[in-house]
A and B are shown apart, each in its own frame.
Chain A
Amino acid sequence: MSLQKAKNIHIFSKENLLQKFHIQSLKDVLITVLYSLIAIVCYLLLSLLPQPYTMVGLFKFGIIPALALIPMLGAIRGPLAGFATGYFGPFFVDLILNQTIIASTIPYFIYGILGFLVGLAQYQLNDGKSLAKLAILSTLAFLLSVILLAVIALTIQQISLLVVLGYVILPLLTMGIPSVFLLTPLYSRLWHFILNNAYPYVKNLLGKLKSRTD
């Protein structure tokens, strides 16, 4: 949909919301679910990898490759897909890899909000400026998530302030921000490339092979 056309639709209209959430038809719903499932599986697989880091004094720097999948899917497939990836990605990682569920799943809900918020805006994934916007919005949404996670850790989880600062907030800021700022536009561009170039090419190739066989 062009930007002009998008502006003509009232922001809170049912049509606009359905479009924004990518659930205007059964096919759209299925694609949204499929994309979310792919992202959740990718989140799980990336979480299996060792997470490299380096400490500089009290600050932990590194990349969390799985984290950027959450805003990426929000950008690609809208708020619902972003929320589903943010909620179920960390949920299944903790359930399967760490065999625990934290604070009645509330932290996963907050990661879901990260994907949801990023998905509210629209992006042109082949445009550098739009990808820069995506990087900035992902970072801002992530900062909000970190604040919410800290509040949850201090209130519901009742972890001491020292631990929340040293083991939750600081590492999330110094590892999470580089991850979402750098990797979200990269993943999104890669996804866009696969969908618009690689996938049609492979589909075309398979079609040719099939016709030759026939």
Chain B
Amino acid sequence: MLKQLKDNKFVIGVLIVTIIFSGITFNNLPGAQPFKRVQTFNGITYDFNEYPSLNDEQIALFNYLRRLITTEPENSFANWNAEGFTGFLHYLFAFTDYAFSSIFETTPGYRTDYYSETAYQLIEKMNTTIAEFGNDSIEHIEWGRTNYDEYYWPNATDPSGLYTGGFRGPANIMWTAHYTLMETLYERSFNTSVFVDEINSFVNDWNNSLTTDGYGNATVGGIWGVGLIPCEPYIVFSQCNSIAIYCTELYDNMFGTSYMNMWDYGLDFINTVMHEEYGLFIDGYFIQEPIGFSGSMGSGFPSTIPGPAVNRFFDDGRAAESSYSNAWTLTFLEYTQPEKTAADYPLFLEKYGADVTGDQMYMYNSFNHPTFESIMDMLGTLYTCVLAKQRGDFNTLQRLRNFLYGSYNKVWSENRREMYYDTSSLFTFLQPVLAALGIWSTTPITVRDLADARPAAFWEYPFISQADDDKIWVYYAEYDAINSAFLLNIKVDQTANIIFSNFDHTPQSYDGGSLTTYLVPSGPDYILTLQPGSYNLVIV
């Protein structure tokens, strides 16, 4: 034995070092997946493998973002570490909300305050104005240094023209579109009606801008003649308008209206004028002489107005283009024009994609200027993750995610209910960004899916209205209307009560095909008490 050890001392030494070294690198393995099984009850088979579900990482990322949102007043932004990146804050809030909506849709039968309050507070944060909060507002932080309140059409500096200024005004689609979509998605998810009047007012304002001269006289192309709404407010972007177009689709689906016609001219303008030589979208089109602050991203001032924004890195007048603009627009317009997104996606990957290694790729910000120099170069990669998921291109998605996430440690809270990626070695601001994208790029629900409204009967289905949210992990929760069964995939950390509403009888809970318990009546609701463990429940 001793001789064998002596003869193999090098191998044994290397083996020990390998075990120690490997042991300290096991931080970032993929998180646990929910327990799923097949069960048959009353002759009906419920295969929990086939239902969409969340996983521990997605829920832990949500819990991290929830803490950022709910542990500071609506007019505080300290939790977001946005110093130097304040111009991105309202985008972060909006896209975080869209990521949340994909969670809410994965578990549509789980609608406690835990989710709805988080989304509500995010919307409040987005809508902090100077009038109410002074300097501690999104309006001041992002638009306070601009001269937004002084804009008029057609001459920006002539007060005798049509007034188009203001943070919540007709020419700030980069905020109004996101804010209205956040509100509309909230109503889609929770059906509270608290935002409906405000949603109506914004949609009507867009209709006025797009179909009249601003004074109520019908005009083709609307106020600015392009059928689109500007921001900054002298430039129209396909990406910003794609949010409003998508929001209008959802609005029409939810309320049975037909406002989408107002975008016909603008969509045609995006598809036929606002594109470059390959047919992909350009990054901005000037419709008015800018005054004061010019904050357009990567876009230069053209020699003739109206005209496409030009690429700042060249003096030959070529149009500005960017991967973030294309990925974002293709994602949000896919519901409206699925053939174009399907046709453009491979071309988009070809023009902007950069292979790093076999398992990593990123997107150039501009294919005319293919570099990687700033956070702008990250944006295209971020948005392409969402597009790739929507296109079902999971191979590209994984390669992009390897590039984005492969350089950061996962940091779990002590109780393992929160997680984020530690990006402090680069920018701490990336932490909430990667957390939101971590949800958005991996949940089974796409942006396209969320444009459809829930059926009216949905709101009568049984659902979880209250729960000990801090003790449970809800992976899947949905009422199966065909089989009249509530399906619940859940993990319980500590004994937890879950309260169901809308059952018209005392429901029974089945697990593995066997009756486990009757739910306990509590007023009009019913309480299910679960001990720690993992469950695939069929509640009938």
Contacts and interface: CB of A to CB of B under 8 A. Distances in A.
A171 B357 CA distance: 11
A169 to B, nearest CB: 11
A98 B422 contact: no
A167 B30 contact: no
Given A60-B407, A163-B372, A55 B21 contact: no
- Which among B9, B14, B15 has the highest number of chain A CB atoms within 10 Å? B14
Interface of A: 50, 52-55, 57-58, 60-63, 90, 93-94, 97-100, 102-103, 107, 126, 128-129, 131-132, 135, 153, 157-160, 162-163, 166-168, 171, 178, 182-183, 185-186, 189
Interface stretch (B75-83, B264-272, B358-366, B488-496): B358-366
Contacts of A157: 354-356
Given A102-B357, A126-B7, 8 more contacts: A54-B25, A55-B425, A100-B358, A128-B10, A131-B10, A160-B370, A168-B356, A186-B14
Nearest first, the 3 closest Cβ-Cβ pairs linking A and B are A128-B10, A94-B358, A160-B372
A52 B29 contact: yes
Contacts of A185: 10-11, 14
A62 B358 contact: no
A56 to B, nearest CB: 9
A159 B371 CA distance: 8
B17 interface: yes
A100 B356 CA distance: 11
Given A52-B27, A100-B355, A131 B11 contact: yes
Given A93-B358, A153-B356, A52 B372 contact: no
A103 B147 CA distance: 49
B370 to A, nearest CB: 7
A54 B356 CA distance: 20
Nearest to B393: A99
Interface in B382-407: 395, 398-399, 403, 406-407
What does DSSP make chain A's interface, helix, strand, loop or mixed? Answer: helix
Contacts of B371: 160
B415 interface: no
A173 to B, nearest CB: 14
A99 B394 CA distance: 11
B358 A166 contact: no
B315 interface: no
Contacts of A162: 372-373
A192 B358 CA distance: 31
Given A132-B10, A182-B17, A63 B28 contact: no
A100 B354 CA distance: 12
Nearest to B409: A55
B26 interface: yes
A183 B21 CA distance: 11
Contacts of A97: 358-359
A138 B425 CA distance: 31
Contacts of B26: 52, 54
- Which among A50, A55, A102 has the highest number of chain B CB atoms within 10 Å? A55
A99 B395 CA distance: 7
B408 interface: yes
Interface of B: 7-11, 14-15, 17-18, 21-22, 24-30, 354-362, 370-373, 395, 398-399, 403, 406-409, 422, 425
B373 A129 contact: no
- Which among A107, A167, A186 has the highest number of chain B CB atoms within 10 Å? A167
A163 B356 contact: yes
- Which among A102, A103, A158 has the highest number of chain B CB atoms within 10 Å? A102
A90 B358 contact: yes
Contacts of A128: 7-11
A128 B7 CA distance: 7
- Which among A57, A128, A132, A171 has the highest number of chain B CB atoms within 10 Å? A128
What does DSSP make chain B's interface, helix, strand, loop or mixed? Answer: mixed
B286 to A, nearest CB: 30
A1 B370 CA distance: 55
A52 B410 CA distance: 12
27 contacts: A50-B30, A52-B26, A53-B25, A53-B28, A53-B406, A54-B27, A62-B25, A94-B359, A97-B359, A99-B395, A100-B358, A102-B357, A102-B358, A128-B8, A128-B11, A131-B11, A153-B356, A157-B355, A157-B356, A159-B354, A160-B370, A160-B373, A162-B373, A163-B356, A182-B17, A186-B11, A189-B8
B65 to A, nearest CB: 21
Contact of B355 (A61, A90, A102): A102
B404 to A, nearest CB: 10
Contacts of A94: 358-359
Contact of A167 (B24, B357, B358, B408): B357
Nearest to B13: A128
A182 B399 contact: no
B283 to A, nearest CB: 20
Given A128-B8, A129-B10, A158-B370, A178 B21 contact: yes
A192 to B, nearest CB: 10
Given A135-B14, A167-B403, A63 B22 contact: yes
Contacts of B22: 52, 63
Contacts of A62: 25
B175 to A, nearest CB: 32
A186 B25 contact: no
A41 to B, nearest CB: 17
A55 B28 CA distance: 9
- Which among B356, B409, B425 has the highest number of chain A CB atoms within 10 Å? B356
A39 B373 CA distance: 40
Given A131-B11, A157-B355, A189-B11, A52 B17 contact: no
A62 B370 CA distance: 31
Nearest to B10: A128
Nearest to B9: A128
Nearest to B360: A167
Contact of B407 (A100, A126, A132, A167): A167
A71 B359 CA distance: 21
